[in-house]
Structure formats: structure tokens, C-alpha cells
Amino acid sequence: MKQKTAKTILLAALSGAVLIDLFLGIVIALRGGVAISRGLEALSQWDASNFLGAAAFREGWRAAGFGFCCHLVVSTIWAAIFVFTAKRWKAMTRRAIASGGVFGALVMFVMRYAVVPLGSAQEAPYTLVTFLLTLVAHVVFFGLPVALMTKKLGP
């Protein structure tokens, strides 16, 4: 893999992971009436709970740090998929907003209905509001940053 491709993958993954986490952490905080730091902690603990189960919620920031690292790994895998696909299909970078939106929705559906059920994460009731917030998070705050970073840096 070329150094430029690796750089694009890592920066796209980092931008998408940080932005989606900030958005969802703020949403969790606002919906739960807690500080944003607590919303971010809860989100990352949930990520960790895919591996650690309910124990992740008793481990505080240590589990949250592990969860965020796990999230970065998953984001890097998704960014690599986007970048390598964009190398072969140039229309993805020419139409970065459309391809990023579709990609974000695809990521959400695969994660929600295929990957997360394989783990140990505890699921809250999934309402229409939760679905829409999750879709916005993945389309606007993950898919678009990954696509736009790929367009800017080149696949």
C-alpha cells in the first residue's frame, strides 16, 4: 500500500470516528440530561461492551478508552473499504457528497444489523427517533467526512 493511500485511510477514519462520536456523545448527553463528557464516556463504554459485555459500564474511562480504540479500528476498516473502492470507481470522489451519504447509510445498516448483533453490546429500545439519529450520525458525521477527506487527499 502506498504511503499516500495509508495517510488517506487514517485521516478519513480519524475524521469520521471523531465527528460521529462527538455528535452521538452530544445527543446522548442532551437526551439523558448529563454532561457531554458523560455522553462521550457512555458511548465509548457501549463500544467496549461489544467485547466486555455489561462490565464495560462499570469500568469508567478505562473501558471507554478501550471502546474508543475499538471504534477507531472499525472506522479504519470502513475508511479503507471506501478508499480502495474509490480508487477503482472514480465517480465516488467526483460525487463525494452522494457517495459519502450512501456509504454512511450502508455502514449504519451493516453495523446495526450484522456486526453489532455478533457482539455483547446491550441494546436500548430502538425507536424511530433513535433510528433517525443513528442514520444522521452515520451519513453526515461518518460517511461524508470519509468521502470528503478521500476526495481532498486522493485515494
Of residues 143 and 117, the one with the higher pLDDT is 143
CA atoms within 13 A on the CB side of 141: 17
| Cα–Cα distance for residue pair 4/23, rounded to 1 Å | 28
Q: Per-residue pLDDT tens for 78-103?
A: 999 999 999 999 999 999 999 999 99
| pLDDT, position 145 | 98
Q: Per-residue pLDDT tens for 1-21?
A: 799 999 999 999 999 999 999
Domain residue spans in the chain?
3-153
| pLDDT, position 122 | 77
Instruction: Assign 123 a pLDDT band (cuts: 50, 70, 90).
Output: confident
